Structure 1
Amino acid sequence: MTEELILALDAGTQSVRAVLFNLNGDVVAWSKQILPQWEVPRPGWAEFDPELYWQMLCRATNSLWRDNPGIAGAVRGVTLTAQRCTLVNLDDAGGVLRPAILWLDQRETNIVPGLGVGWRTFFKLAGLGETLSYLQSQSEANWIKAHQPEIWERTHKFLFLSGYLVYRLTGVYVDSAGCQVGYVPFDYKNQRWAKPSDWKWRAICIEPRQLPELAAPGQTMAGISREASGLTGIPPGLPLVAAAADKACEVLGSGCVDLHQGSISYGTTATINVTSSRYIEPLPLIPPYPGAMAGSYNMEVQIYRGFWLVSWFIREFGLSERLEAQEGNLAPEEVLDRVIDEIPPGSMGLLLQPYWSPGLRRPGLEAKGAVIGFRDIHTRGHFYRAVLEGLAYALREGKERIEKRSRQKITELRVSGGGSRSRQIMQITADVFAMPVTRPHTWEASALGAAIVAAVGLKLMPDYKSAVAAMVRCGDTVFPDEESVHIYEKLYSRAYKHLYRRLKPLYRSIMDIT
């Protein structure tokens, strides 16, 4: 086989995938391993054995070679993307000390490092005292040191999942700067570890020795070790190229490389992103995250429990659709699309605010989900459609915030993630945003983004502009319906945009009481 291929490994929340791409961006071969459900030792916690990620990665790659004999010889490089904010503690022998704390985890601690009077006064005067307290209380490192000090004492390396998998693949403690999204002392502007004088080292108990070396996206981090080759079937010595976190790769894999191109991801966390060459905070003290192209930034607004809301609805209210989907070998979302086909835009007055989890600034720490407008005519179908509409409203609000901060209108929208497979959510998104929305040509947008970074890093493509032009294509486009746009515009501007401000005092009262 003479075709040059790139192996992209994608470790998500629900599965680990191994995808082979050619330089046209086509999926040549693909393997997927479903991850078991994460552990919930206490309400709000979420943990997972890191070894299982590695085992599933090995299964995925071995399945790839088994189903495609001889194809490994065409692979020119490997790259890795992974879920963000999932952290692993390793001892000095590289052994796992405790289950990984997943990004879904909501534990917090009030036992935090002292920041000093000067810094605390500064944050208080800047009106950011509550934000600082939230960051410190949410830090996984601070929690472990406070509640499992014996574990923290033995922690030689504290790595994101991406860094852990790089270690297993190469034996080297290195990670991509594009994967550093979380409560660690990272300088988001310069995309490197913070300087020793930075306040983050005081706010978070991590020491520099516990962190990996950083490589810029596109740099070769190391070669695949012989040990890892024996377990994965990946040829030894093959270069492992730094990519970025899954959302950043998804933005690039959707072809969104400029401020006017919005990338919507209907994943477990729903997001809207644009790529910027400048450091612009989407909200004060909330940094833009590293982009998949070295030196770029993603301005991102998150709906924390985004398309998770659909999974939640299916689990709690969609038994019949779940069973029908199993019998017909369909996704439950496809069955539910039919359920709401006859329900008009606006869900007959049912309006949902999708804040099932609080945020940092907007929504704030007190935020909760809300549904208003119930009447006796409403069914499960109305509620489900209201979920989809609420997510689209929240993402449109995020779009407007990004446009205000960047002073650039978003004129194109690409939609990816599991939710993009739903015909109804694509149409609702087009109607709420009053814009055409386009899917990428492949569902594996995150893996494709990682492959694009590797293609440029390995000099298989001259630059990102050429790589995106060659490897990214638009799939189908959904156009807005004029009548639906009219209804959604009124509901959004006259009702949804006022909902959070009106309910905020009640949310705070509920939080204080409970």
Structure 2
Amino acid sequence: MYYIGYDIGSSSIKVALVEAETGKKIIVLNEPQNEMEIVSLQPDWAEQDPEIWWQHICVATKRAIREANIDASKIKGVGISYQMHGLVVVDENGSPLRNSIIWCDSRAVEIGNTAFTELGEEKCMTHLLNSPGNFTASKLKWVKENEHEVYKKVYKYMLPGDYIAYKLTGEITTTKNGLSEGMLWDYKENKVADWLLDYYGIAPSMTPKIVENFSNQGFLNEKGAKESGLPIDIPVVYRAGDQPNNALSLNVLNAGEVAATGGTSGVFYAVTDATIGKSTRVNNFVHVNFEEKNPRIGKLLNINGAGIQYRWLRNNMGDETYESMNHKAAKIAIGSDGLVVLPFGNGAERMFNNKNIGTHFLNLNLNIHSSSHLFRAALEGIAFSFVYGMECLKDDNATIGVIRAGNDNLFRSEIFSNTVATLIGHEIEIYNTTGAVGAARAVGLTDGDFEKFGSNISKNDHVMTFLPLQNSESYQVAYQKWKKELEIILTHNK
């Protein structure tokens, strides 16, 4: 028997098949082979057609079944991970009325900031644990204000994962964790934040029915089964945003455990049991195993400009590979001979209160600096941004016990991982897993045995551990120089 998991990213759709009994990976692949298009009609806008996600899911599912050479009838459940904070609006027939406004779109920043001011910091932080910010609710308000003809036809709003669950089952539903990602969940009242919808002038009837995680959230209907290649009547059991799901994939489920991601964007996601919001630079979400009597909150510190910075360098430096870039960077001393890179060129940064400060290459000396210095300074700059983010998390009362990360882009670099581990003073455990694998394994959690789930991850997926280096002085000096340059830019942008 098998479970299947999807991870709906903004660059590709990933699918994984795992053995139901052991969680062993059978196959992991992604579609399309090149990155999916992000439509940007104006600066800082980002949209995708949700039907494209579905098309790639169908292709990827059939590929996975074919290439794994398994009997599709033995797939017994579906788990879904998805890009957070996106907005999909559909009419009464379930058809999308416009492109999805995705996570990195910044058009609703001022709408959320105004709501935070007018509704009051105390109300927002005690009930939402966040500012309404640039999240799903504010994006829906933007549609209401700017696309009147579209808005008049809206039957339901959804998160991206809700839309895929709908395509599979024909049922429009959402989850507590999904609503919390959109700033639509009231932690104090343990229900939908209808007062925020009322403030935005949005009808509460637009909110989908809420289903519980690790339960039968809906069964594949004939249309969803035929198009995807999956068996009819199997359940969708689990769905979560990519960062909470990444945490689950890394066995980050309890207070004091932290998941780190070093992909296009960078993330620290710290689990806590405190339903308190303090800083708007850190966002709080219902974690996948949240219960009212046993709350689990994920504190998310996001860095938009992370791996995308290193990818930009690779794409614009000829025939370099990440391996060759890392090799050249390793030949340069810590601190990159004074060259500083601030890697924040991918839109507004929440940890800077939604300022867009851009990427900066500082102190470039044409007589001494080479491409190798650029590679080292970029890796250090991204690592330093993680360290700065960890300081923000600790300021928000996050407790750090253990840090776990996937064996993905940035954490493959010893320079990056050693720099982060040394400056934050914590071990970083590296695991060879993915969000799609985690979503597939989560299908088996209807039994609630999180301890067994976690032990299987430790047994099957642990790769290595980066330890803080004992001699940290040169790292500290380089970080303080970087931080000083950052603070000058932040002051200038006030």
Class of the TM-score when normalised by the shorter of the 2 chains:
0.7 to 0.9
Instruction: Indicate conservation of the 8 Å contact 1:16/1:32, yes or no.
Output: yes
Alpha carbons of 1:192 and 1:124: their partners in 2 closer, same or farther (altered >3 Å)? Answer: closer
The CA distance in 2 between the partners of 1:290 and 1:100, in whole Å, is 22
Instruction: Indicate conservation of the 8 Å contact 2:272/2:399, yes or no.
Output: no
Structure 1 unmatched ranges of 5 or more: 322-331, 509-514
Aligned to 2:16: 19
The letter of the residue matching 1:143 is W
Q: CA deviation at 1:153?
A: 0.6
The CA distance in 2 between the partners of 1:373 and 1:165, in whole Å, is 47
Aligned to 1:475: 463
Instruction: Indicate conservation of the 8 Å contact 1:403/1:410, yes or no.
Output: no
Instruction: Indicate conservation of the 8 Å contact 1:309/1:387, yes or no.
Output: yes
Q: 2:437 aligns with which of 430, 433, 448?
A: 448
Other structure's SS at 1:244 match: strand
Instruction: Indicate conservation of the 8 Å contact 1:452/1:471, yes or no.
Output: no
Any residues of structure 2 matched to 1:256-267 within 5 Å, and which?
256-267=252-263
The CA distance in 1 between the partners of 2:359 and 2:145, in whole Å, is 31
Alpha carbons of 1:125 and 1:30: their partners in 2 closer, same or farther (altered >3 Å)? Answer: closer
Aligned to 2:325: 336
Q: Say whether residues 1:162 and 2:161 are aligned partners.
A: yes
Aligned to 1:491: 478
Q: CA deviation at 1:490?
A: 2.3
The CA distance in 2 between the partners of 1:184 and 1:407, in whole Å, is 20
Q: How big is each residue's C-alpha offset from its partner over 1:71-122, in whole Å with a ceiling of 9 and x where there is no partner?
A: 3233221111111122212111111211111212222486899979xx7284
Other structure's SS at 2:477 match: helix
Aligned to 1:236: 232
Structure 2 unmatched ranges of 5 or more: none
The letter of the residue matching 2:299 is M
Q: Say whether residues 1:268 and 2:255 are aligned partners.
A: no
The CA distance in 2 between the partners of 1:495 and 1:135, in whole Å, is 31
Aligned to 1:211: 207
Alpha carbons of 1:236 and 1:307: their partners in 2 closer, same or farther (altered >3 Å)? Answer: same
Query: Aligned residue pairs: how many?
Result: 480
Instruction: Indicate conservation of the 8 Å contact 1:191/1:290, yes or no.
Output: no
Q: CA deviation at 1:248?
A: 0.6
The CA distance in 1 between the partners of 2:177 and 2:319, in whole Å, is 42
The CA distance in 1 between the partners of 2:413 and 2:115, in whole Å, is 47
Task: Tell me whether 433-442 or 18-27 shows the greater mean CA deviation.
Answer: 433-442
Q: 2:5 aligns with which of 8, 16, 22?
A: 8
Q: Say whether residues 1:397 and 2:388 are aligned partners.
A: yes
Any residues of structure 2 matched to 1:239-388 within 5 Å, and which?
239-281=235-277, 283-284=279-280, 287-295=283-291, 296-315=296-315, 317-321=316-320, 332-356=321-345, 357-360=347-350, 362-365=352-355, 367-376=357-366, 377-388=368-379
Alpha carbons of 1:256 and 1:121: their partners in 2 closer, same or farther (altered >3 Å)? Answer: closer
Q: How big is each residue's C-alpha offset from its partner over 1:109-154, in whole Å with a ceiling of 9 and x where there is no partner?
A: 86899979xx7284599999xx969659992212212221100111
Alpha carbons of 1:453 and 1:124: their partners in 2 closer, same or farther (altered >3 Å)? Answer: closer
Q: Which runs of 4+ in 1 moved over 6 A?
A: 109-116, 124-128
The CA distance in 1 between the partners of 2:113 and 2:392, in whole Å, is 33
Alpha carbons of 1:310 and 1:8: their partners in 2 closer, same or farther (altered >3 Å)? Answer: same
Aligned to 2:175: 176
Alpha carbons of 1:407 and 1:82: their partners in 2 closer, same or farther (altered >3 Å)? Answer: closer
Q: CA deviation at 1:432?
A: 3.5
The CA distance in 2 between the partners of 1:468 and 1:132, in whole Å, is 33
Aligned to 1:102: 102
Q: Say whether residues 1:505 and 2:494 are aligned partners.
A: no
How high is the TM-score relative to the length of structure 2? Answer: 0.87
Q: CA deviation at 1:165?
A: 0.6
Q: CA deviation at 1:502?
A: 3.3
The letter of the residue matching 2:17 is L
Alpha carbons of 1:146 and 1:426: their partners in 2 closer, same or farther (altered >3 Å)? Answer: same
Instruction: Indicate conservation of the 8 Å contact 1:178/1:290, yes or no.
Output: yes
Aligned to 1:325: none
Alpha carbons of 1:190 and 1:354: their partners in 2 closer, same or farther (altered >3 Å)? Answer: farther
The CA distance in 2 between the partners of 1:503 and 1:113, in whole Å, is 22
The letter of the residue matching 1:479 is L
Alpha carbons of 1:502 and 1:364: their partners in 2 closer, same or farther (altered >3 Å)? Answer: farther
Aligned to 2:449: 463
How high is the TM-score relative to the length of structure 1? Answer: 0.84
Alpha carbons of 1:114 and 1:26: their partners in 2 closer, same or farther (altered >3 Å)? Answer: closer
Q: 2:421 aligns with which of 403, 421, 430?
A: 430
Q: CA deviation at 1:31?
A: 3.0
The CA distance in 2 between the partners of 1:89 and 1:231, in whole Å, is 22
The CA distance in 2 between the partners of 1:387 and 1:285, in whole Å, is 23
Alpha carbons of 1:106 and 1:401: their partners in 2 closer, same or farther (altered >3 Å)? Answer: closer
Instruction: Indicate conservation of the 8 Å contact 1:110/1:137, yes or no.
Output: no
Instruction: Indicate conservation of the 8 Å contact 1:31/1:60, yes or no.
Output: yes
The letter of the residue matching 1:418 is N
Instruction: Indicate conservation of the 8 Å contact 1:109/1:143, yes or no.
Output: no
Other structure's SS at 1:95 match: coil
Task: Tell me whether 225-234 or 395-404 shows the greater mean CA deviation.
Answer: 395-404
Instruction: Indicate conservation of the 8 Å contact 1:261/1:414, yes or no.
Output: no
Alpha carbons of 1:251 and 1:60: their partners in 2 closer, same or farther (altered >3 Å)? Answer: same
The letter of the residue matching 1:299 is K
The CA distance in 2 between the partners of 1:89 and 1:471, in whole Å, is 36
The CA distance in 2 between the partners of 1:342 and 1:408, in whole Å, is 36
The CA distance in 1 between the partners of 2:208 and 2:144, in whole Å, is 19
Instruction: Indicate conservation of the 8 Å contact 1:438/1:478, yes or no.
Output: yes
The CA distance in 2 between the partners of 1:188 and 1:242, in whole Å, is 21
Instruction: Indicate conservation of the 8 Å contact 2:6/2:16, yes or no.
Output: yes
Alpha carbons of 1:81 and 1:124: their partners in 2 closer, same or farther (altered >3 Å)? Answer: closer
Other structure's SS at 2:261 match: strand
Instruction: Indicate conservation of the 8 Å contact 1:412/1:436, yes or no.
Output: yes
Instruction: Indicate conservation of the 8 Å contact 2:431/2:462, yes or no.
Output: yes
